[in-house]
Amino acid sequence: MIIDNHPFTVNEQGHLEIGGLDSVTLAKKYGTPLYVYDVQMIRDNCRAFVNTFQNMGVTAKVAYASKAFSSIAMVQVIKQEGMYLDVVSEGELYTALHAGYPTEKIHFHGNNKSIAELRMAIEHNIGCIVVDNFQEIKHIRSLLKTYDKQMDVLMRVTPGIESKTHHYIMTGNEDSKFGFNLQNGQAETAFLQMHNDPYIRFQGLHCHIGSQIFETDRFILATSVLFQELRTWKERHGYTPNVLNLGGGYGIRYTKDDAPISYAPFVEELVNEVQKQVEALAIPMPEIWLEPGRAIAGNAGITLYTVGAMKEIPGIRNYVAVDGGMTDNLRPALYQAKYEAVLANKAAAPTETNVSIAGKCCESGDMLIWDLPLPHVSQNDILAVFSTGAYGYSMANHYNRFAKPAVVFVENGEDKLVVQRETYQDIIRHDLSYE
Ligand SMILES: Cc1ncc(COP(=O)(O)O)c(C=O)c1O
Ligand SMILES: N[C@@H](CCCC[NH3+])C(=O)O
């Protein structure tokens, strides 16, 4: 039996399976809360992007945006898939270096890169820096001169496009902290500062319009806005780009209300648009780069919790509390994000009650799901929340001094612990005594 619209099955005992393994057994073995990933699904998501470009004969680089979920094992899977890697901090870069990621396949982002981060990127000869502001141009130029090194650089621009997503995760609108503004000429000024620099190898433009977006026409629109700018630069400065990075942001299915983007037709649509624009401008086809994060990791991960206290307020609400919450999944509290879930140990049972899943933080907004139909719920049932593979572990925090959960990978019928559960010793590790 397949779980309604989620890519998971139910076994003969009526338990939810992930990657062919019984999720209830995994919960018992590793404890809860527990993040579990189906690694084959991560690989399939990577291949859907990479293979479509290959099948179309288009030169492309697909980078996994590691902010969605970064750990040594995750980065190693991405490396095995031959993908590129997008990092936005020293910490993500450090993780990639420790995972043995080929440094020339790493792209560095960020709206406020520190000198230390730029040094780290330059010292490790990473593949590309995506420059975000005028101060950074100055820093990169002087650092490259000091190191006497050249570096591939892209310029992040904001195309002035509002995407239909939560306001907090829009990034392509004019009023954004990210990138150079196209409308007011700042992008062209930045371009003029970089394109003849002896140390900066200026490769082209980068644009990321936001996250969890379903309308492919937004990406097409962003592409056409970039080409309007490129037309101007061609006419004024004779410039043609080597690279066009169209970012990430592809929406996945969290609930039945979401219609996720199908990667292959989406990539085809995007490539066709670039080809059309390139022909109109009479320039050679640039390399197309993409940076999916959520689309790679999101639906491959679930979170398992154990049901604890239950509180029924007759005529108002049935609260079911689990042993995690906004500390392992901040998205409902931060973006009012919606999720679906089942009882992993009763996955084949008919639903008979409507409940609200509460976390255990001392915070009324610590609710994981407000309305969830479930079978009869008992203490110690295992709740499995779907689509938590992206921005779950990576946004986990220590509020109320909760320890971060473990992460388990499942592949070829085997489970492997890839991030240990934190201990209370970890929680107080950096505390110093004042006595
Ligand atoms: C520059 C950049 N690239 C890629 C991503 C990945 O986005 P998503 O996980 O929505 O694909 C983000 C996050 O929004 C981003 O800021
Ligand atoms: N963290 C966000 C997305 C931001 C992506 C990075 N710019 C989320 O959970 O949806």
| Rounded mean pLDDT, 228-235 | 97
Question: Ligand 2 centroid vs 198 CA: distance in angstroms?
Answer: 35
Looking at the fold, whether 281 and 356 belong to one and the same domain comes out as no
Q: What distance in angstroms lies between residue 290's CA and the mean position of ligand 2's atoms?
A: 16
Same domain as 197, residue 281: yes
* Same domain assignment for residues 242 and 269: yes
- What pLDDT shows up at residue 168? 63
Residue 432 domain flag: no
Place of tokens 């689309």: 295
The verdict on the CB of residue 327 being under 6 Å from ligand 2 is no
Same domain, 255 and 315: no
Q: What pLDDT, on a 0 to 100 scale, did the predictor assign at position 174?
A: 74
pLDDT at 1 over 60: no
Question: Rounded to 5 degrees, what are φ and ψ at 102?
Answer: -60, 120
Domain boundary among 263, 292, 321: 292
Within this chain, do residues 268 and 307 fall inside the same structural domain, yes or no? no
> Is 156 marked within a binding site?
no
pLDDT above 90 covers what percent of the chain? Answer: 91
| End residue of a domain, out of 264, 292, 320 | 292
pLDDT at 175: 79
Mutational test site, ligand 2, from 158, 170, 334, 391, max ligand atoms within 8 Å of CB: 391
Q: What is the largest CA-CA distance in the chain?
A: 73
Say whether pLDDT at 285 is over 60.
Answer: yes
Surface-to-core class of residue 93, CB atoms within 10 Å of its CB (0-12 exposed, 13-18 middle, 19+ buried): buried
What is the average per-residue pLDDT within 247-266? 93
- Ligand 1, from 132, 211, 218, 393: best to mutate by most atoms within 8 Å of Cβ? 211
* Residue 432 Cα to ligand 1 middle (Å): 37
CA of 211 to the centre of ligand 2 (A): 6
- Residues 215 and 240 grouped into a single domain: yes
Nearest CA owner, ligand 1 atom 16: 208
> pTM (2 decimals)?
0.96
Same domain assignment for residues 156 and 267? yes
Let me know if residue 86 belongs to a domain: no
361 Cβ closer than 6 Å to some ligand 2 atom? no
Q: Which of 32-36, 172-176, 278-282 is the least confident region? A: 172-176
Residue 352 known to bind ligand: no
Confidence band for 169, pLDDT divided at 50, 70 and 90: low
Q: Is the pLDDT of residue 405 over 80?
A: yes
Instruction: Report which ligand 2 atom has the smallest distance to the Cα of 65.
Output: 6
Residue 195: the pLDDT is 93
Residue 74 lies in a domain: no
Kindly state whether residue 70 falls inside one of the protein's structural domains. Answer: no
pLDDT tens for each residue of 355-380: 999 999 999 999 999 999 999 999 99
Residue 362 appears among annotated catalytic residues: yes
Radius of gyration of the chain (CA): 23
Residue 169 CB less than 6 A away from ligand 2: yes
Interstrand relation of 341-343 and 382-385 (parallel, antiparallel or unpaired):
antiparallel
Please report whether residue 47 resides in a domain. Answer: no
Same domain, 285 and 329: no
Atom 8 in ligand 2: residue holding the nearest Cα: 391
pLDDT score recorded for residue 170: 64
| Assigned domain for 335 exists | yes
Model pLDDT for residues 76-108, shown as the tens digit of each residue: 999 999 999 999 999 999 999 999 999 999 999
Structural domain range at position 270:
109-292
Q: Do 302 and 252 fall into the same domain?
A: no
Domain presence at residue 284: yes
> Based on the structure, what is the number of domains in the chain?
2
Q: How far apart are CA 48 and CA 50, in angstroms?
A: 6
Strand pairing report for 301-313 and 317-322: antiparallel
Q: How far apart are CA 194 and CA 339, in angstroms?
A: 44
Q: What is the mean pLDDT of residues 53-64?
A: 97
ipTM over 0.95: yes
Which-ligand-closest: CA of 206?
1
φ, ψ for residue 10 (rounded to 5)? -120, 135
- pLDDT higher than threshold 70 for residue 383: yes
Q: Is the CB of 212 under 6 A from ligand 2?
A: yes
Q: Please identify, among 258, 292, 326, the residue that sits at the C-terminal boundary of a domain.
A: 292
Closest CA to 138 of 115, 110, 122: 115
Looking from the CA of residue 390, the nearest atom of ligand 2 is 9
- Please give the number of the atom of ligand 2 that sits closest to the Cα of 67: 6
Same domain, 335 and 222: no
What mean pLDDT is predicted for residues 57-64?
97
- How much is the mean pLDDT over the chain? 95
Query: Is the bond leading into 33 cis (omega within 30 degrees of zero)?
Result: yes
CATH code of the domain containing 120: 3.20.20.10
Q: Is 269 annotated as a binding residue?
A: no
Query: Do residues 236 and 367 both lie within one domain?
Result: no
Nearest-CA neighbor of 209 among 201, 218, 217, 200? 218
Confidence check: pLDDT of 4 > 90? no
Taking the centre of ligand 1 as the mean of its atom positions, its distance from the CA of residue 383, in whole angstroms, is 29
pLDDT digits (tens, 9 = 90+) for 315-343: 999 999 999 999 999 999 999 999 999 99
* Residue 166 pLDDT grade (very low, low, confident, very high; cuts 50, 70, 90): low
Report the residue among 70, 176, 294, 339 best suited for mutation to probe ligand 2: largest number of ligand atoms under 8 A from its CB: 294
Is residue 218 a contact partner of residue 163, using CB atoms and an 8 Å limit?
A: yes
- Average pLDDT in the 42-50 region? 97
Give yes or no for residue 241 having a pLDDT over 80: yes
Any idea which residue has 């008992």 for tokens?
378
Contact present, 263 and 49 (Cβ < 8 Å) = yes
Integer Cα distance of 340 and 61 in angstroms: 33
**276 and 375 within one domain:** no
- Ligand 1 pocket by C-beta < 6 Å: which residues? 65, 68, 86, 109, 171, 208, 211, 247-250, 291-295, 390
In a domain, 68, yes or no: no
**Domain CATH number, residue 314:** 2.40.37.10
- Asked if residue 300 lies in contact with residue 333, where contact means CB atoms within 8 angstroms, the answer is no
Note whether 217 and 261 are within 8 A (CB). no
| Eight-state DSSP code of residue 248 | -
pLDDT value at position 161? 80
